[in-house]
Amino acid sequence: MLGRVRARINIINYPDVLKSVTSPDWNEEKDIWTERDPLIFYPLLPYFIYQVPNVGELIQVIFVNSDFKYQNQYYVQSNFFSVNSAFNTNNSGGAKFTGTGMQFKAPKNIKNQNGTWPAKSFLKGIYPEPGDNALLGRGSTDVVVKETDVLLRAGKYSATPQSNLETPPNDNRSFIQLSIFDKTKVSENFTKQIVSKPITLPVRHLIEWVILNPENTVDRFTGAIFLYSLKSAVETNTNNIQVSTEIPEVNKFLIYKQDFQALPFQSAVDLINNFIKTCNSKNVLSDGTKIFSDNQNKFPIYFRPGKFTYDLLTDASPATPIQQIMKDNLTLFNNRIKLLPSDETASSDSQFGLIWKKDTVGLPTQTEIKSITSEVFEPKPKTYSVMGGQEIYLLSQDSSIEGKGKINFANSIYGLPLSAFTGEIRAKTSSLVRGEELLELLNLIVRFLLTHTHAYPGLSPVDETEDGAKSKDIQTQMRNAVNKILNSNIRLN
C-alpha cells in the first residue's frame, strides 16, 4: 500500500538478476516481496500523490547510484500510447514514444496539427486541456482544476475508450462544479423585433411568353402568352423553380392562351405585362374570360420566357448576324417584362419572376415577432456551486425519517456500493420539495379558505370563491403534486 512495485528491467536478464541473490540462494516462493527481493522499486513521487501502475505497464527506473543496483531504486510511470488508453497501456504501447518505439504504429491524432479540435470531435472536454491541472482516474473519473473552476467528475464518457476511436461524452455524468465568474448579472432587457424568415411554397401557376419572330427588324412582333396550372413537385417549389427549370408536361396544364400578331415592341411588352398584372390582381380578363375561381388560392405565380425564347435569349455566341438580332431583340423584351416598374429583371435566375403573393415579387417569407433578451452585467465576481447526477442524495449519519429508520453506513468507508443506492438508501430517504411549486399550492388553499362562502349554514363551501379560487383547482394541484412539487431524484434522510 506504499506504492512500491516489483518490476523486471528490460535490458537485464531476469534469471541473471536472481542468481545474484545468494547465501542462501533465491527462493521464488519465499523471497518475493521481502528485503532479499532485488526487483522492488519505490515511487519517486511522494505517497500523497498516489499512483501505482497496472501489471504489465511500462515504468522508467532510476538508480541513485548505478554501481549499487537494487539499492535505493525508484520508478516513475512511463508514457501512455494515447489519452484513450490511460485505463491500461501495455509495455509495448508505453514504449511508443521512447527510443525503442519507432517500430510501433502511432495512435490516431485527436487534435489538429495546430492544436485545435476537429469540428465534430466527441473528445473535447473529456480530457484535461494544456494549462489546466488534473488528477486522473483510470476510468471515467477525474478532478480538473482550471483557472476559475474545479470539476469533480464520474462517468464522463459513456463507453470504455479505445486508442483510435472517438469516445462519446456522457451528459448524465455525476459531477460537482465550483466556479467563480468575474461579473454578475444585474438585470435583463426584453425587446421585440419583427423578423422575416424564408419559407417554401409550391408554385401554383406559370406564365410563359414567347416571341415567334425575334429576327424581324421592322418593329412588328408576333407571339403568345400561356397560363399553366402546375402540379405540386419538388422542382416547382419556390426554392427550386428558375427561369431555366424544365417542367415535365405531365406536371403542367394549360388554362389559357393569348396570341398576338404584328405588334410594335412597346405594345407587345405592354400586352405581356398587363396579362401578368391581371393575373396578380384579378381573376377575370378584360374580355370577361374567367381564369381563376373566386375562392382559389392562385399564388405563387411564376412568369418567364418560354423555352424556345429562352434558348435564343441565352445563346452564348450567336453564329450569324440574324441570330445576333434575335438575341438583342429578346434581351430588350426580357429587360422590360415585369410586374412592378421597380422590379429588377423579372425572368432572371434571381427568381424575380416569382409573385408569391399579391403585388409581391421575390422569394416568400414569413413574418414573426422575435423576443430578444439582453443581459446587463456589472464587474462584480460571483461564485457558483453545482452538484449534478441522475440521482442525488443528501445523507446524514445522525438523521432518519420517522418510520423508515437510520441508514447503515458500515463498510462504506471506501465508497457506497450500487446495492446500497438501489436498496436501503432509496427506501430510507424522501423526495426533495420544490419550494415555489409548494407555495403555489399553499397560496391556492389559503385563498380558498379566506374567500369561500356557503350557500346555507351547514352546507359544503361553494365550489368557486369570491375571488375566483376553485376547489377543483386545488384537487388538480394535489394530484399533480407528486411530480410537480416533489423531485424523486433528489433525496434526503
Rounded-to-integer distance, Cα 476 and Cα 473, Å: 5
The answer to whether residues 304 and 217 belong to one domain is yes
Of 46, 78, 110, which one is at a domain's C-terminal end?
78
Among 78, 97, 130, the domain-final residue is 78
Pick the last residue of a domain from 344, 363, 382: 363
Q: Are strands 205-211 and 301-305 parallel, antiparallel or unpaired?
A: parallel
Residue 193 lies in a domain: no
Q: Tens digit of pLDDT per residue, the chain (493 long)?
A: 889 999 988 878 888 888 888 889 999 889 999 989 999 999 999 888 888 888 888 888 998 887 877 788 999 988 887 777 777 777 777 777 776 766 777 777 888 888 888 887 888 888 899 889 999 888 889 999 999 999 999 999 877 776 666 778 898 999 999 999 999 988 888 888 888 889 999 999 999 999 999 999 999 999 999 999 999 999 999 999 999 999 988 899 999 999 999 999 999 999 999 999 999 999 999 889 999 988 889 999 999 999 989 999 888 888 899 999 999 999 999 999 999 876 654 444 334 689 999 999 988 999 888 888 888 889 999 999 999 999 999 999 999 999 999 999 998 998 999 999 999 999 999 999 999 999 999 999 998 898 888 888 888 888 888 888 888 989 999 999 999 999 999 999 9
Q: Are residues 220 and 342 in the same domain?
A: yes
Specify the DSSP element, H or E, that contains 207. Answer: strand 205-211
Residue 435 belongs to domain spanning: 394-492
Full-model pTM: 0.60
Q: What pLDDT score does 343 carry? A: 63
Looking at the fold, whether 283 and 422 belong to one and the same domain comes out as no
Where are the alpha helices (H) located in 34-146, listed in sequence order?
91-94
Both 430 and 309 in one domain: the answer is no
Give a yes or no: residue 63 inside a domain. Answer: yes
Domain-located, residue 398 = yes
Contact 41, 5 (CB under 8 A): yes
Give the phi and the psi of residue 381 in degrees, each rounded to 5.
-60, 145
C-alpha cell at 403: 418510520
What pLDDT is attached to residue 347? 43
Q: Which of 170, 153, 164 is nearest to 85 (CA)?
A: 164
Indicate the Cα dihedral angle 407, 411, 417, 421, nearest 10°: 0
Q: Identify whether residues 402 and 346 lie together within a single domain.
A: no
| C-alpha angle 186-191-194 in degrees, rounded to nearest 5 | 155
Query: Quick check: is 384 in a domain?
Result: no
296 lies in the same domain as 399: no
How many domains is the chain built from? 3
**CA distance linking residue 140 with residue 170, whole number of Å:** 10
| Rounded-to-integer distance, Cα 466 and Cα 489, Å | 39
Q: Which residues of 198-224 are buried (b: 16+ CB within 10 A; e: fewer)?
A: eeebebbbbbbbbbbebbbeeeebbbb
In a domain, 152, yes or no: no
- Same domain assignment for residues 297 and 354: yes
- Check residue 348 and give its pLDDT: 41
Provide the grid cell at 421: 443506492
The verdict on 359 and 403 lying in the same domain is no
Kindly state whether residues 340 and 419 are assigned to the same domain: no
Say if residue 239 is in the same domain as residue 331: yes
How far is C-alpha 343 from the geometric centre of its chain's CA atoms?
40
CA dist 122 to 111, 157, 465, Å? Answer: 11, 10, 57
DSSP run (H or E) holding 195: strand 184-198
Report the C-alpha gap between 331 and 49 in whole angstroms.
Answer: 82
Q: What are phi and psi of 332, to 5 degrees?
A: -60, -45
Which pLDDT belongs to residue 114?
A: 84
- Determine, yes or no, domain membership for 401: yes
Q: Do residues 401 and 352 share a domain?
A: no
Report phi then psi at 126, rounded to 5: -75, -40
Q: What is the DSSP string of 210-276?
A: EES-TT-SSS-EEEEEEEEEEPP-GGGBTTT--TT----GGGEEEEEEEEEEEE-HHHHHHHHHHHH
pLDDT at 358: 92
Partners of 153 in the beta sheet? 142, 175
CB contact set of 346 (below 8 Å; sequence gap of 6+): 303, 304, 334, 337, 338, 339, 352, 353, 361
Q: Are residues 416 and 334 in the same domain?
A: no
Pairing of strands 149-154, 40-43: unpaired
- In sequence order, which ranges of 53-172 are alpha helices (DSSP H)? 91-94
Q: What are phi and psi of 421, to 5 degrees?
A: -70, -45
Distance CA 105, CA 115 (A): 21
Cα end-to-end span (Å), the chain: 35
**Per-residue pLDDT tens digits for 239-249:** 999 999 999 88
Please say whether the beta carbons of 431 and 486 come within 8 A. yes
CA distance 312 to 348: 14
Task: With respect to residue 295, please indicate whether it lies within any of the assigned structural domains.
Answer: yes
Residue with cell 518505439: 101
Q: Is the dihedral of CA 97, 103, 108, 109 positive or negative?
A: positive
Report residue 309: phi and psi, to 5°: -70, -40
Do the beta carbons of residue 256 and residue 227 sit within 8 Å?
A: yes
Considering the domain boundaries, does residue 378 fall inside one? Answer: no
Quote the pLDDT of residue 344.
52
